[in-house]
Structure 1
Amino acid sequence: MDLFSSDFKLGILGGGQLGKMLLYNTRKFDIYTCVLDPSNEAPSKIACNEFFQGDLMDYDTVVAFGRRVNTLTIEIENVNVNALEILEKEGVQVYPSSKTLRTIQNKAKQKLFYVDHNIPTAAFSRFAYTSEIKEALNNGGLELPFVWKSAQFGYDGNGVKVVRHVEDLKGLPNVECIAERMIPFKNELAVIVARNVNGEVKTFPVVEMEFHPEANQVEYVICPARIDAAVAKKAQAVALQVSEAFNHVGLLAVEMFQTQDDNILVNEVAPRPHNSGHQTIEASYTSQFEQHLRAILNLPLGQTASKVGGIMVNLVGAEGHTGQVVYENINAIMKMDGVTPHIYGKKETRPFRKMGHVTIVNEDINAARQIAEHVKNTIKVISK
């Protein structure tokens, strides 16, 4: 089927900022797009051909939407997988597949998948309910400290907490969860792997991620990662191992720990465009968003090399500010060479809500990191 300037329809489940950035490329290629999102003010609404408001977890809503399109993809994992399974049986192309998504949606299943496929990952315990953890601590089946993770519906630092004392369990939801061993790591790394329908595979360069200590959100993504070539090669190999195990179509962002002895452990994955790839828009020959489109539409994959060093700075709502958003000092950062802001189109800010990002490109990655720090300290996402 012809994809460009044709009757072909691509459906996207989720209309947030990832969908909006994906739509930059569908518009470039003149691919007809339909978007489904719960919010009538979703950032993607302004850029798609057809917008539908509806619950991504509602079976009937997702099935009805999927029947309108030829190929269906996601920009968020929290969608009704049973609906995707039915759509696949009816002939709709769904990428990532319902099988892949069913495993990745649940962090406990995801971790067991790594164990079953000999993929290196941190040791963990699985619990049906958070309340069972105290008993495991009392009988010696679990030791402090550990990282508590909700098995489902976690995002942007939500559903994750470092537990150093028993008191830290207070207030956590009593849900299916895992308790993961704390890893004394040197770096948090990520590799995005692209795989098209025919099985062509390419990886983007390894990136280094710096996290906010309280919000557990990425503050900076640095590409290339400031690591030894041997470690980068090992990270790429592990990412490819994970990709091959899932046999996914589209993008797979593989987040990893570099341990003190330079081993690589997989933390978790996302089967879609990812925060760790935003710098590719300005810094790479092919952005992660264009590459995702190429992969799910079975087009030749683009070149993944970087044209220049790139750093991404997340713009999140400042603490103490809720309401109509104001980007304070945005003119000041736009005066800087190599600095490009991306505003997601969310009208209301709140503490730590992702509102945009800024890309800094420079031939010297250390110089780019200094500029990124200046950008971070200059622009503020506040409310009126």
Structure 2
Amino acid sequence: MNYFSSDFKLGILGGGQLGKMLLTDTRKFDIQTYVLDPSDEAPCKIGSNKFFQGDLMDFDTVYNFGKQVDVLTFEIEHVNVAALEKLETEGIKVYPSPKTLNLIQNKGTQKDFYAKNNIPTADYKRFESLNDLKLAVENEVVTMPFVWKSTEGGYDGNGVKVIRTAESFNGLPEVQCIAETMVPFKNELAVIVTRNPSGEIKTYPVVEMEFHPEANQVEYVICPARIDDAVADKARAIALQVSEHFNHVGLLAVEMFQTEDDEILVNEVAPRPHNSGHYSIEASYTSQFEQHLRAILDLPLGNTDSKAAGIMVNLVGAEGYSGNVVYQNIEKILGLNGVTPHIYGKKQTRPFRKMGHVTIVNEDIAEARRIAEEVKNTIKVISI
């Protein structure tokens, strides 16, 4: 099939920043794109060939949108899987497949999948409701501290909370959840694995993630991770094992813990371009977004090596500010060596909302990390 400068249509479910960055590469290749998103102000609206506003969880909306395209992908997991399954039976190519998405959408199902396939992960218990979990704590079936996770609907640190006391339950929703054993770890790592329908597989280097302690969001992604080669090799091998069992097409971001004794435990996965791969736009020979396109279109996969060390700094809304966004001091960071800001196009900021990111590229990873700290301390995402 001719994808380039042709009648071929790629559909993207979700019009947020991941879709916007994917559109940079579809425009580079002159591939037609249709985008569906609930918001009329979605970042993807200005970059797609056709934009449709609609509910991603509504069967008819997703099905009717999918019938207009040749290949369908998504930038967010919260989509109607039944509609994707019907589209697939009618000949529309959906990547990653509804089968893969079904295993990943629910974190409880995802954890069961790891246990069934002998993939190392933290111990956990599933509960149908918050009340059932509270009873398990009262009966000492579950002991504090532990990590509470909503099985569905979580994103950017939402849906996850460390439970240390009975008061920690306050404000949590009455939903299906899991209680996960807290893992003493040195580092949080991630590996992106890419696979095309022909079976070609490549992995990106292991990255290290530093999280904001309050918001549970990634603040820095560091590539390559500052870990021993033996640990990096183990992480990549486990990521490949996860990829093989999911048998996915496209990108699979595998988030992991490096424990105090250098074991690797899988935390969770995302079947799409991921925050942990944003550094690749400037620092890699092939960005994760171009690679996702190559994979879902069954084209040869690109070189995943890095040209230089890369660090990504997340730009999130500052605490105490909500309203029309202002990127304070952005001109100052533009004067720093190797710095490239990415602004996602969200007009309204609020505390901890992802508004953009900044990539720092340098031959010396220590210098890149120093500049990243300077960037973090200089630019502020505030409101008028």
Structure 1 position 316, deviation (Å): 0.2
Structure 1 position 106, deviation (Å): 0.1
Query: Match for residue 88 of structure 2?
Result: 88
Structure 1 position 167, deviation (Å): 1.2
Letter of the structure 2 residue corresponding to residue 261 of structure 1: D
Query: Match for residue 137 of structure 1?
Result: 137
Moved more, 311-320 or 134-143: 134-143
Counterparts of 1:169 and 1:199, CA distance in 2 = 45
Counterparts of 2:166 and 2:203, CA distance in 1 = 41
Give the secondary structure class of the aligned counterpart of 2:245. Answer: helix
Gaps of 5+ in 2: none
Query: Match for residue 324 of structure 1?
Result: 324
Q: How does 1:61-80 map to 2 (within 5 A)?
A: 61-80=61-80
Identity of aligned residues (%): 74
Give the secondary structure class of the aligned counterpart of 2:136. Answer: helix
Query: Match for residue 302 of structure 1?
Result: 302
Structure 1 position 140, deviation (Å): 1.9
Give the secondary structure class of the aligned counterpart of 2:183. Answer: coil
Query: Match for residue 272 of structure 1?
Result: 272
Counterparts of 1:226 and 1:320, CA distance in 2 = 34
Structure 1 position 116, deviation (Å): 0.5
Structure 1 position 351, deviation (Å): 0.3
CA-based RMSD:
0.4
Query: Match for residue 376 of structure 1?
Result: 376
TM-score of the two chains, using structure 1 as the length reference? 1.00
Query: Match for residue 167 of structure 1?
Result: 167
Counterparts of 2:164 and 2:202, CA distance in 1 = 39
Task: Provide, for residues 113-156 of structure 1, a one-character-per-residue CA deviation record: whole Å limited to 9, x for no partner.
Answer: 00000000000010000111121112221111100000001000
Task: Provide, for residues 68-87 of structure 1, a one-character-per-residue CA deviation record: whole Å limited to 9, x for no partner.
Answer: 00000000000000000000
Task: Provide, for residues 163-191 of structure 1, a one-character-per-residue CA deviation record: whole Å limited to 9, x for no partner.
Answer: 01111011100100000000010000000
Structure 1 position 196, deviation (Å): 0.4
Give the secondary structure class of the aligned counterpart of 2:144. Answer: coil
Q: How does 1:1-384 map to 2 (within 5 A)?
A: 1-384=1-384
Letter of the structure 2 residue corresponding to residue 340 of structure 1: T
Q: After TM superposition, where is structure 1 displaced by more than 4 Å over at least 4 residues in a row?
A: none
Counterparts of 1:190 and 1:3, CA distance in 2 = 31
Counterparts of 1:134 and 1:58, CA distance in 2 = 33
Letter of the structure 2 residue corresponding to residue 179 of structure 1: A
Counterparts of 2:21 and 2:363, CA distance in 1 = 25
Structure 1 position 35, deviation (Å): 0.2
Give the secondary structure class of the aligned counterpart of 2:131. Answer: helix
Counterparts of 1:296 and 1:332, CA distance in 2 = 39
Task: Provide, for residues 90-122 of structure 1, a one-character-per-residue CA deviation record: whole Å limited to 9, x for no partner.
Answer: 000000100110110000000000000000000
Letter of the structure 2 residue corresponding to residue 322 of structure 1: S
Give the secondary structure class of the aligned counterpart of 1:45. Answer: helix
Give the secondary structure class of the aligned counterpart of 2:341. Answer: strand
Letter of the structure 1 residue corresponding to residue 338 of structure 2: G
Task: Provide, for residues 350-384 of structure 1, a one-character-per-residue CA deviation record: whole Å limited to 9, x for no partner.
Answer: 00000000000001101100100000000000000
Task: Provide, for residues 326-372 of structure 1, a one-character-per-residue CA deviation record: whole Å limited to 9, x for no partner.
Answer: 00000000000100000000000000000000000001101100100
Letter of the structure 2 residue corresponding to residue 255 of structure 1: E
Letter of the structure 1 residue corresponding to residue 120 of structure 2: P
User: What is the aligned residue count?
Assistant: 384
Counterparts of 1:215 and 1:134, CA distance in 2 = 24
Give the secondary structure class of the aligned counterpart of 2:357. Answer: strand
Letter of the structure 1 residue corresponding to residue 284 of structure 2: S
Counterparts of 1:300 and 1:141, CA distance in 2 = 50
Counterparts of 1:328 and 1:67, CA distance in 2 = 44
Letter of the structure 2 residue corresponding to residue 383 of structure 1: S
Letter of the structure 1 residue corresponding to residue 273 of structure 2: P
Structure 1 position 42, deviation (Å): 0.3
Structure 1 position 286, deviation (Å): 0.1
Give the secondary structure class of the aligned counterpart of 1:77. Answer: coil
Give the secondary structure class of the aligned counterpart of 1:202. Answer: strand
Give the secondary structure class of the aligned counterpart of 2:157. Answer: coil
Structure 1 position 243, deviation (Å): 0.1
Structure 1 position 305, deviation (Å): 0.2
